[in-house]
Structure formats: C-alpha cells, structure tokens
Amino acid sequence: MSFRDRSTLSMTPRKTVETQGTPIGRNAGATRSRSNSPQKRTINTVQPGNVKVVARFRPENESEKFHGSSKIVRVVDSSTVALDVTPAVGSFSFDRVFDETCNQNTIFEYSIKETIDSLFQGYNGTVIAYGQTGSGKSYTMMGPVDGDPEAKGMIPRIADQIFDDIAKSSSDKEFTVGISYLEIYMEQLRDLLSEEASDLAIHESRTGEVYVKGLTNRYISGKDELYEAMKAGAAARIVSSTDMNDESSRSHAIFQISLTQQSSATGMVKKGTLFLVDLAGSEKATKTGASGQTLEEAKKINSSLSALGNVINALTDGSRHVPYRNSKLTRILQESLGGNSCTTLIVNCSPSSIQEQETLSSLRFGVRAKRIKNNVHVNAELSAGQLKTRLQEEQNENAKNRARIAALEQELAAHKYKNEDGGVELPVVPIFDYDDRSIIIDDDKSENEITRLNAVVKELSITNKILLSDLESRCTKIVELELENDRLKDQIGSPDTESYTQLDQTIAKLSLKIKDMEIQNQGLRKDIAVAQNFSETRSERVKELESQLYDQSRILQRDAYTFEERLGYLKSRLTAVKSASFGTVPGPLQDTTNNAGHSYTPPQPITPADISVAKQARNKVGLNLRILKPLRGGNENPN
C-alpha cells in the first residue's frame, strides 16, 4: 500500500536542500513558526523528565577469550547490574539492563519505540550510544551493513517505524521527512552527505537556536532512501585499526531525522527532531597501541568525551554555569542534555575482566547521566482558525469573570449596607448561572466573611485586568496581521506599473553600459595581446644578439692569442730576411716576444722559399687585423 493511500507525503525523493543550516539546538522544532508563519502561535506545554539510561553488555570477543579473561558482570535484575571485582564497587541501577543474550529488537522495543511515538506527537528526541572503543556502539546504532535483518541496528529500525506509522496515520495529515548526517573529527564538522562540505561552523540564531551552517538537509520519501544515505555516510566516516578494534571509528557521528506533520482539517503543524548519536569510544593508548595520527585522534576523542562528562557533572551538581561551549559535541547536544528533548542513553560495555576499568567508568558515566532532568514540550503551531477559536474561548471566559465580579461586588455592598443600617438587607440579584453564584446571606455572618469577599473581589479584579490586557494585545495583533495581509494582497493584485517601467528603463541603461564596457574590454585585450607579442619578439631578438656577441667575443679572444703568437714568430723571421737583404749575417738573435714561447735558432742562408713564406705571413696578418672591425647593435648581418 502506498503512503498516499492513507496520508499525504509532501516531499521530493532524493532531493537535497542546502539551507542556512539544519537546526540542532533550542526550539529546533518550532523553526518554521518563527520564520514563515508569524500569524501562528507555538504551544509549549513543558513536561520535566529524566534522561532514560539503559546498559547493554556485549558477549566476550575472541581477543578477550584468547588472553584468558573472565566474566565480571552479574545482572542482579532487569534494572540492576553488579561487578564482581576487588575492591567491591557495589551495584549500578538503570532504567533497564540488557545482558549479552539480548537482541536488537528487544533494545528497540524498550529504549527507542517510545521515543518514536513522542516524535509523532511533536516532541524532540535523542538516542546516544556511549562506551569504550570496541564495546558495540556502532553495532547497536547501525547493525551489520548487509546481514541478518534481525540484527538491524537502531537507525534502520527507526526508519521502518517512522514510515510504518506514516502509512497507518489518518488521511488528513501531511508529512515531511528530512535527514542530515555529520561527523565531528578532530573537532572539525564534516557533512557525510556531501563530498564538498567540510569544516562546517556552528552558529546560533537570534532566538537562541543552534544550527550547523551549510549542513545538507535531504528530504526523503521512503525508508530505502534513508538506508542509502545511512550507508553512504557510514562509508564516508573516518575509521582505522587499533589493537582493540579492527574498524575503530575516529569520530562522533550524528544522524538527524526531522519529522513535520500538518493537519489539513485544523491546519495545526507539529515538528519533531530526532538525533541519533554514535560517539567515538574512549581509549587508552597503552591498550589500543595508538601512535602518530591515531594517537592524535585519540587525544581529541578523549578531550570531547571529557567535555561531555563535565557538562553532565554541571547539570547534576546544580552548577549555575554549564560548559556547553567547551566542545563542538556538547554544543550540538545542548538541547539533548538538560533541554527540550526526550533523551535515551545506551551505555555499551564489555563483560570481560580485561576491560574492568573501562566498564566501571562507563557505568559511572551512565549513573550520572540518569540524574539529568530535561524540560520537554510539544512543538506545535496553531492555525489562524484555531487561534481565533482560542481567542473566542478566552473572551467568553473573560465575560464570565466580569459577571462574577459584578455579583460579588453587589453581595459585598449588601453586607456593608446591612451592617451599617441595623440589619436591612438588599436582595442579591443573580447575574450568571453557575454553581456558586448565589451566596445566601445569614444574619450572623461576621466581618471575616466581608474580608474574604473583599479578597476574592480584589483577586478577580486583578485577573480581569490581566485577561483584558491579554485580550486587547491579541486583538491588536490580529488587526495588525489582517492589515498587513490586506496590504500584501493589494500589492500583489495591483502592481505599481510606473515603478516597474522605471525599473525596466534602468535595467536597459545598465545593459547598454555593460555592452559598451565589454567592447572596450575587447579592444584593450587586443592591444594587450599585440604588446605582449611585440615584447616577446624583442626579447627573442635581444637573446639572439647576446648569443652572437658572446660567440664573436670568443672568436676574438682566440684569434688575438694566435695573432700575438704568430706576430712574435714573424718578427724574428722578418729580421732574418732583412739581414739577408742587406747581405749581413746577424749575430745570435734573442726572441723579443717572450709570450710567443719559441726559442730562436740562428738564421740559415736566405732562400727564395723563405721570401715566399714571409709574403704569405704578411697577408695572413692583414686578414687577422680585419677581424677587429667593431660590431654595431641592431644590424642583423654585420660585415
């Protein structure tokens, strides 16, 4: 049977809405009343109640059995558990104690089902799983991902119950179901339903409402969509392996379900929000073997759990200040602890002697939490018709009070007249037909009766003034709302054509200016591109000339060295040739150019071949001298 056979689901499947943030704090259930429905009034009938605390013990695991542990837990009765340890620590009492043989359905039926019923009545609810690492918190909340249906955790069972109750509800009710999923990792908030949202921030509205800004709020139309979101979020959680748990959660996870229902018959709206919290486990590095990043994660986990313990201590000790702001976890759970929420705490423990200290610490935590008192109320909004009916009822009650005041004043006047004139009594005129309106006046009534009547008249006068003031303020509010409604209707029905025309003209002018600026920008872009190309060309040419200059200088250095060496040698040869031309034989000559590096040998007789060699050398000297011609910049082909 579809949901619409019995009730209307006003929701879009798989639709994700990015809102200002999902309300998570004070008066979360009355959000729409303040923001969207100013003519509606929220009903808050406060009912105090303690936090419900249950203890659950898992079976011993293989590691504990391997290390020779023994069972130290003894369930005394359905609400009491004792630890067989030395020194004795006494027993611990809770609302319910579940041993290792208890299944998931039993936990749900006792601990959670009542919370779902309250959710449909407009109350907020919270379910928190607490305990050391490896104690079974995630199993309690989630159960196996793909396994035995009987082992389903609390969240899947809650989804089943919610949509079953919707299907069974009357056809005049319309429901909207939304979900959010976040984790607190290393004191940072991560949206588990979005790959992009990370390190979100907690904000508080002007009305004191706490919310996570940017947190995804996804509306769903069936439990299968909730299953998919739960699995996707669980897969995105950060986990790692420790010596105590192969898949240890390194973060606190909070799954939020919001349920809004509206009656088409009366227009009344009720909204409840359910927080499902899977806390990370407390750890001792000596047992988990944590190191590096895992150790840093453990420090943050223990720090936030310590802040949670401090909040519980402050609430139970009657402290004037409760340190909710010391941790993001306690800030988010502010309404769940001491506020507007029907809260259930599931303390998960191990029965093993190896985990004695951790189990003892968890049980003591649960005992403290059981003393917390929450003040819960229904988050409901009256429709305009209901508000008028309520106003009429109060007006009728006010009229009755006025009639009773008049009757009592007349009785009082009759008493005074009788006492002053010697027993002459004025008749009492009945004003309003109710049981105690007629008071028979006896002759022997004393002054005490007159005093009592005076007090009654005074009290009723005060009550009448209060009711009149309240009635006037409500009437004024109704008139203001009706005037505002008429004004809005007039604006919608007869729009200001002249204003629209001026607005269109302004938009057209701005559009022309934008087009002109775009044309100018295109021209500037072209000029910039040309300038960049020219600059790049000049830079390349400069680099090319620098390379040529470098190569030319290397050639000049090499040729200069060779020239000096040849010059010294030719000088010595020319001297020998000149001596031969004049027919004189020079004496031993010394090489005048030490840089040439050649030792001189005595000249031999001049031959025609020597003269030819000298001419060739003279030509080469001239060739080398021409290389010294300077280069000019900017000439591509220097000669």
Where is the binding site for ATP, in residues? 131-138
| Cα–Cα distance measured from residue 380 to residue 398, given in angstroms and rounded to the nearest whole number | 25
Residue from 21, 29, 125, 134 carrying the catalytic annotation: 134
Q: Which residues contact 497 (CB under 8 A, 6 or more apart)?
A: none
21 is catalytic: no
**Ordered DSSP codes for 125-136:** EEEEEE-BTTSS
Which of 25, 95, 125, 137 is the catalytic position?
Answer: 137
Sequence-separated (6 or more) residues with CB below 8 Å from residue 107: 54, 56, 98, 140, 154, 346
How far from 222 is each of 2, 22, 507, 635, CA to CA, in Å? 10, 20, 46, 83
Is 278 assigned a catalytic role? yes
134 in catalytic set = yes
From the annotation, which residues make up the binding site? 131-138
Among residues 21, 25, 29, 136, which one is catalytic?
Answer: 136
Token pair, residue 513, equals: 């200016």
CA–CA dist 338, 323 (Å, integer): 12
Backbone angles phi, psi at 343, to 5 degrees: -105, 135
Cβ–Cβ under 8 Å, residues 141 and 154: yes
Would you state the structure tokens that stand for residue 518, as one six-digit string? 């775009």
Determine whether 559 is an active site residue: no
Number of helices followed by number of strands (H, E) in the chain: 15, 23
Given the residues 71, 113, 117, 139, the one annotated as active site = 139
- Please tell me the number of Cα atoms within 13 Å of 152 on its side-chain side: 16
DSSP state of 108: I
Find where tokens 């973060």 sit.
251
Q: Choose, from 281, 338, 339, 568, the residue flagged as catalytic.
A: 281
604: which 2 tokens? Answer: 């031999």
Q: Is 461 a catalytic site residue?
A: no
Specify which residues 325 forms β-bridges with. none
* Rg from Cα positions in the chain: 48
Would you please indicate which residues are annotated as catalytic (active-site) residues? 134, 136-139, 278, 281
